[in-house]
Amino acid sequence: MEGETRPSREPLRLLHARSQYGYTPSIAQALPDEPEAVPEQVQLLLTRLAARRASARKRSDWVARRARLRAEVAALGELYGREVAEELRSLERSMARLDRKLAS
């Protein structure tokens, strides 16, 4: 039935056959043979959790790359010393800016 709600549950949440309309509670307007979507609040929660996990993965990746970069900068400093000291300091400042940017 169109707009039918089930006892003690939210209204049906089905993908509309016309994508510009998003979801519909109407079986007649829904895509055939598609499962019911999760409730909107659950979808919001899943989206937030996925965003947090993605952010944590990126941060972890940056921390590992930053460590490798710092090791390379230190090795360059040991090998070339004062000859490249100013440029290496510039690289370290750039890494610090990246760190602040990627930490947010």
Question: What is the model's pTM?
Answer: 0.63
Question: Where do the domains of the chain lie?
Answer: 54-103
Per-residue pLDDT of the chain (104 residues; tens, 9 = 90+): 455 545 557 788 898 999 898 889 999 999 998 888 888 899 999 999 999 999 999 999 999 999 999 999 999 999 999 999 999 999 999 999 999 998 76
Q: Is 14 exposed, middle or buried (0-12, 13-18, 19+ CB in 10 A)?
A: buried
